[in-house]
């Protein structure tokens, strides 16, 4: 999803809910931190949106302009109303490492390869994660491998 498509969804969600503020979470939150995200970070057609003053309206957003809605069929852009926080880029990346899906790992590799976040920055935040120790250990292994790859001139995406 391109930035202009995301802003279109935000405007529609704001009008739909009669709210001035809309929170963006998930992959599309990268648009807040990176002016020109790597192409692999733009593959998702969905945006997770909700108004912070009324998070219960997330279902209205999802049902009206989300996947399978007439809006989605016409516009081709998806939105899902999920209540969450607006993450910083490192927080977004850590959540994707926890999810551990191929698309999330590709997303993170593109960000690391572009030099937008350093593996060491993410390693410093690992103690803040509240999840299974085995998951954290796996993320730590991935980040250390990424650090080594980048240090030797290789791409994280090639690991």
Q: What is the pLDDT of residue 60?
A: 87
Q: What is the pLDDT of residue 83?
A: 40
pLDDT in tens, the chain (159 residues): 888 888 888 888 888 888 888 888 788 889 888 888 999 988 887 888 889 999 999 888 877 766 565 554 445 444 444 343 356 899 889 999 999 999 999 999 999 999 999 999 999 999 999 999 999 999 999 999 999 999 999 999 998
Question: Which DSSP helix (H) or strand (E) runs through 26?
Answer: none
- CA distances (Å), 18 to each of 11, 15, 48, 52, 54, in order? 10, 5, 17, 12, 10
Does residue 24 sit in helix, strand or coil?
A: strand
Dihedral sign, CA of 129, 50, 37, 70?
Answer: positive
Of residues 47, 37, 48, 42, the one with CA closest to residue 1: 42
Q: Are 6 and 28 in contact (CB under 8 A)?
A: yes
Question: Which DSSP helix (H) or strand (E) runs through 88?
Answer: none
How many Å apart are CA 110 and CA 114, to the nearest integer?
A: 6
């Amino acid at each position: 999803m391109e930035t202009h498509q995301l802003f279109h969804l935000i405007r529609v969600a704001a009008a739909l809910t009669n709210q001035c503020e809309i929170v963006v979470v998930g992959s599309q939150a990268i648009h807040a931190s990176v002016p020109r995200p790597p192409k692999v970070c733009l593959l998702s057609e969905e945006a997770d949106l909700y108004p912070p003053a009324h998070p219960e309206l997330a279902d209205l957003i999802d049902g009206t302009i989300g996947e399978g809605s007439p809006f989605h069929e016409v516009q081709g852009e998806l939105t899902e109303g999920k209540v969450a926080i607006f993450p910083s880029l490192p927080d977004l990346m850590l959540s994707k490492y926890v999810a551990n899906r191929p698309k999330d790992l590709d997303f993170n590799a593109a960000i690391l390869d572009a030099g937008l976040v350093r593996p060491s920055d993410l390693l410093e935040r690992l103690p803040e994660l509240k999840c299974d120790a085995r998951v954290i250990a796996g993320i730590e292994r991935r980040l250390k491998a990424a650090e080594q790859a980048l240090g030797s001139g290789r791409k994280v995406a090639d690991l």
